Structure 1
Amino acid sequence: MPLDWAMTPGRMGVAMVTTAEGTGELAVAEAALAEIETAHATMAAAGHGPFASYYEGQLPRARALVARLRGA
């Protein structure tokens, strides 16, 4: 069931990125990044290539948002 579990933080993380883009809330962006990283790591460890690739593809957007909101 780790794959089913990982879908929840992954989806939540992607939604939170969208929210943080609209609100500019750094804490939400940081939480979103952590959720996506968790989902990616879990999917990769379980050997689920398609989902691992999807969340890996979401990481640059989340990282860029965190960096922007931190003023970097």
Structure 2
Amino acid sequence: MTAATDTVRRLARHRAEMQRALADNCSLDEARDRIARDRWQAATDSLARRCGTVAAPVRHPNIRLPYKDDDA
């Protein structure tokens, strides 16, 4: 697979993610935050699977989103 093919697939995946997020009537910034959060969690889950552990929800250090435990 060439670098161009990888780039086209990555851009297509990003476009599909943005379309799904924007379909929920959220702002562009919210859509970007949601995608970044989902990618961060997927990477954490993948790493946990490789290490043979269970991944707990991990907060991305650069994304500030409301979490359930923030009310406490």
TM-score (normalizing by structure 1) = 0.36
Point out the structure with the larger helix share: 1
Q: Computing the radius of gyration over CA atoms, which structure comes out larger, 1 or 2? A: 2
Comparing both chains, which one has the higher relative contact order based on Cα–Cα distances under 8 Å and sequence gaps of 6 or more? Answer: 1
